[in-house]
Amino acid sequence: MQMRLDKYLCSCGLGTRSVVKRIIKSKRVTINGTTADSSDLKVDETSLVKLDGKKLEYNKYTYIMLNKPPGYLSATKDNNKKTIIDLLESKYQNIGLFPAGRLDKDTVGLVVLTNDGDFAHNTLSPKKHVKKAYIAHIEGNLPPDASEIFKKGVILKDFTCESADLIIEETLSDYTIVKVTIQEGKYHQIKRMFFSLKCNVIYLKRISFGEIELDNSLKEGEYRLLNEKEMEFVKAVR
Ligand code: URA
């Protein structure tokens, strides 16, 4: 597929449109051995594009792991509130990234951001059984049969959840720490599942998404590109 040279260079991670336009103007880019003198030039995935004599790698899609802090919307744009896109460097702001599965504003932890619609769609499809694991703090105590109820599939007003895994990690004086693994990603799903047991979720953190685990070296608000091993999962789900 043909595309403009500036768009191609953005996808290689060289920076924003204005940054790459400046790079092109300074005659540092060649296409198949010829110096590029305009952002309008057309290239495709087979073109040999070099910057300062070094071959560039074109990435059709970008995949980022973000450790979401509280207080940010899992949206791409909002007129008043901060979104997770605001946490990214400018070179990632205009390449169509969106979250593969949203987290609530107060939920923290793993969000995969991508501009690959097929991958994002498949991770949410019940057919693909992509598991999402969370650590939750539950106010007070859970009913003794909570794990069995989750295993059978919690019945909510509008749908019945697939079987979920609930492990009690620690019971403290005023709250209980649990690990819960679900297979879908419906709106407020975990909070609603616990609410059906008359329990309140007071803290929620996503720790894994399919085979991708939250990198503990990322502080809240930090992110990185998916590594090779994580990309294997992406390829398997696509
Ligand atoms: N379930 C919820 O209730 N909230 C989230 O953010 C994610 C899953």
- Mean of per-residue pLDDT scores for the chain: 94
212 has pLDDT over 90: yes
Provide the b/e sequence for 164-177 (b: ≥16 CB within 10 Å).
Answer: bebeeeeeeeebbe
User: Which of 66, 73, 102, 103 most suits a substitution to test ligand 1, by most atoms within 8 Å of the C-beta?
Assistant: 103
Tell me, what's the pLDDT at 181?
A: 98
User: Which of 191, 199, 201 most suits a substitution to test ligand 1, by most atoms within 8 Å of the C-beta?
Assistant: 191
With cut-offs at 50, 70 and 90, classify the pLDDT of residue 146: very high
124 has pLDDT over 90: no
Specify the amino acid at residue 34.
T
**Could you tell me the pTM of the whole model?**
0.88
CA torsion sign for 206, 79, 93, 8 is positive
Percent of the chain at pLDDT > 90 equals 83
Q: What angle do CA 213, 214, 220 make, to 5 degrees?
A: 175
- Position of tokens 């540092």? 28
* Contact (CB, 8 A) for 103 and 97: no
Ligand 1 atom closest to the Cα of residue 185 is 8
Atom 4 in ligand 1: residue holding the nearest Cα: 188
Pocket of ligand 1 (CB under 6 A): 103-104, 107, 188-191, 204
Q: In whole angstroms, what is the distance from residue 47 CA to residue 136 CA? A: 49
Q: What is the pLDDT of residues 155-176, one digit of tens each?
A: 999 999 999 999 999 999 999 9
With cut-offs at 50, 70 and 90, classify the pLDDT of residue 59: confident
The closest alpha carbon to 104, from 190, 188, 198, 166, belongs to 188
109 has pLDDT over 80: yes
Ligand 1 atom closest to the Cα of residue 206 is 7
Q: In whole angstroms, what is the distance from residue 53 CA to residue 76 CA? A: 36
| Mean pLDDT, range 72-84, rounded to an integer | 92
Atom 3 in ligand 1: residue holding the nearest Cα: 188
224 has pLDDT over 90: yes
Rounded to 10 degrees, what is the CA torsion of 185, 110, 62, 234?
A: -60
Q: In whole angstroms, what is the distance from residue 70 CA to residue 85 CA? A: 14
Specify the amino acid at residue 175.
Y
Tell me, what's the pLDDT at 141?
A: 85
Find the 112 Cα to ligand 1 centroid distance in Å. 15
Find the 196 Cα to ligand 1 centroid distance in Å. 14
